[in-house]
């Protein structure tokens, strides 16, 4: 039987990593816990970066998830500004960018993901991605300079939130999306079009079914050239075209890596090694599907579960109903479940025209998702039905 680790090292000092560290202490683990983070900041909350912090309503300190005193009280050693560069599973060693080699006993991998970038934009001022606190503050400074035109590349949830925040600052925004309907792969065409209309309602120039050919300028961005040959003048460009899990440092480690760190159903990747958050890929037995989930709630829950699994082989499978929210203008958009673009969709309450409704998704006779626009109570109740494995007919018949 695999023994309980005497000490635990956590690589990745964001939400999943911090939750793993705190869960170890809650579970009574009294050995050394070390939290290694590539950023110089203590763990912070990412959702406000595209909303309150970017809008200037919050200062960065308000997004902090912990402070030095709390970490010291919990006996958690934080090594910040330190990046892991390699893992030797057989030798139980980590290589750090400082040149150090450190031994580990138990390990939680929570290195998250990084933004995809547009080729050819290196060194062009005014071109941003939004993932880190530093990214947010750089973009906020450009927004505060009141640029004439902001272009957002990608109409996914991050791009959409940035567009909404920019409009809230009174900036002119063009949002470019390669798909004919934004978010159609996630929400389906009908609900994706509802999201698109929300932005059009608020004055966003939304261009769909067109890609970006290039982003150019003399030292600073000046224009975006689209695949149809048209150009858009731009003072600021935000690229929101998805993320890549941070797994390169694990090449040759002995761990299986395939669009993330491959784990079993309990989040175990190898003996005394677990993974959590955006970097983890595991079979979610509730849905019968292997998944990698990039949501706040998943990072928090999975970090804690990964820690428990290190301490207890009987911790069991990790079977959450994925859930997230997105604040855009005066709409709180929430999605729970595991939705595919071709699922059956039925509006069960409210009005799509008024952008205040809940819709449920069905597949193979079962409810698999719920989308709500300013309907948090309904989202949580249908989420419970998803967790219970209710049929689609049962969900349609429910009266909430």
Helix (H/G/I), strand (E/B), else coil: 66: coil
With respect to residue 90, please indicate whether it lies within any of the assigned structural domains. yes
**What is d(CA 222, CA 216) in angstroms, rounded to the nearest whole number?**
6
Among residues 101, 27, 21, the alpha carbon closest in space to that of 315 is found at: 27
With respect to residue 2, please indicate whether it lies within any of the assigned structural domains. no
With respect to residue 213, please indicate whether it lies within any of the assigned structural domains. yes
**What is d(CA 384, CA 397) in angstroms, rounded to the nearest whole number?**
15
Q: Which of 216, 240, 264 is the last residue of a domain?
A: 240
Q: Taking a C-beta distance cutoff of 8 angstroms, is the pair 112, 278 a contact?
A: yes
Helix (H/G/I), strand (E/B), else coil: 332: strand
Range of the domain at 341: 330-397
Mean pLDDT by 10 residues, the chain (400 residues): 87 97 97 97 97 97 97 97 97 97 97 96 96 98 97 97 97 98 94 96 98 96 97 98 98 96 98 98 97 97 98 95 95 96 95 96 97 97 97 93
Q: What is the pTM of this model?
A: 0.96
Helix (H/G/I), strand (E/B), else coil: 208: strand
Residue-by-residue DSSP string for 115-162: E---TT-TT-BTEE--SSHHHHHHHHHHHHT--S-EEEE--SHHHHHH
Q: Taking a C-beta distance cutoff of 8 angstroms, is the pair 130, 240 a contact?
A: yes
With respect to residue 155, please indicate whether it lies within any of the assigned structural domains. yes
Among residues 215, 116, 193, 199, the alpha carbon closest in space to that of 163 is found at: 199
Q: Taking a C-beta distance cutoff of 8 angstroms, is the pair 31, 2 a contact?
A: no
Joined tokens for residue 309: 């699994």
Helices 157-168 and 133-144: crossing angle, nearest 10°?
Answer: 30
Name the DSSP class of 99: S
Among residues 230, 119, 113, the alpha carbon closest in space to that of 176 is found at: 230
Helices (H) and strands (E) in the chain, counts: 10, 27
**What is d(CA 110, CA 9) in angstroms, rounded to the nearest whole number?**
11
Q: Which of 214, 240, 266 is the last residue of a domain?
A: 240
151 and 218 together in one domain? yes
290 and 370 together in one domain? no
365 and 292 together in one domain? no
- Residues 38-63 as b/e (b if ≥16 CB within 10 A, e otherwise) read bbebbbbbbbbbbbbbbbeeeebeeb
Bridge partners of 142?
none
With respect to residue 202, please indicate whether it lies within any of the assigned structural domains. yes
Q: Which of 282, 311, 340 is the last residue of a domain?
A: 311
pLDDT attached to residue 233 = 97
Q: Taking a C-beta distance cutoff of 8 angstroms, is the pair 382, 360 a contact?
A: yes
């Amino acid at each position: 039987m695999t023994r309980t680790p005497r000490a635990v090292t956590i690589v990745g000092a964001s939400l999943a990593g911090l939750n793993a560290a705190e869960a170890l202490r809650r579970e009574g683990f009294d050995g050394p816990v070390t939290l290694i983070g590539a950023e110089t900041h203590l763990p912070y909350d990412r959702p406000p970066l595209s909303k309150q912090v970017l809008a200037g309503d919050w200062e960065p300190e308000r997004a902090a998830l912990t402070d030095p005193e709390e970490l010291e009280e919990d006996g958690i050693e934080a090594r910040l500004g330190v990046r892991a560069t390699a893992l030797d599973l057989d030798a139980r060693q980590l290589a750090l960018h400082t040149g150090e080699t450190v031994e580990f006993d138990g390990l939680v991998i929570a290195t998250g993901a990084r933004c995809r970038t547009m080729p050819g934009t290196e060194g062009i001022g005014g071109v941003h991605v939004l993932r880190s606190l530093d990214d947010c503050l750089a973009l906020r400074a450009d927004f505060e300079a009141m640029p004439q035109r902001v272009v957002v590349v990608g109409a996914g949830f991050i791009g959409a939130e940035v567009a909404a925040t920019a409009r809230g600052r009174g900036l002119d925004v063009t949002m470019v999306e390669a798909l004919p309907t934004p978010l159609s792969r996630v929400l389906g065409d009908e609900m994706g079009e509802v999201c698109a209309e929300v932005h059009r309602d608020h004055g966003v120039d939304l261009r769909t079914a067109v890609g970006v050919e290039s982003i150019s300028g003399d030292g600073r961005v000046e224009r975006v050239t689209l695949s149809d040959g048209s150009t858009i003048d731009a003072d600021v460009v935000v690229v929101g075209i998805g993320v890549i899990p941070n797994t390169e440092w694990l090449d040759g480690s002995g761990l299986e890596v395939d669009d993330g760190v491959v784990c079993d159903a309990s989040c175990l990747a190898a003996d005394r090694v677990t993974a959590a958050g955006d970097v983890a890929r595991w079979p979610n037995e509730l849905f019968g599907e292997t998944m990698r989930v990039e949501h706040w709630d998943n990072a928090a829950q999975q970090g804690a579960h990964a820690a428990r699994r290190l301490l207890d082989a009987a911790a069991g499978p990790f079977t959450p109903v994925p859930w997230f929210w997105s604040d855009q203008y005066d709409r709180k958009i929430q999605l729970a479940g595991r939705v595919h673009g071709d699922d059956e969709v039925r509006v069960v309450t409210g009005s799509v025209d008024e952008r205040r409704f809940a819709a449920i998704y069905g597949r193979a006779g079962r409810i698999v998702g719920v989308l709500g626009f300013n309907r948090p109570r309904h989202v949580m109740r249908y989420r419970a039905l998803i967790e219970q494995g209710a049929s689609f007919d049962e969900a349609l018949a429910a009266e909430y």
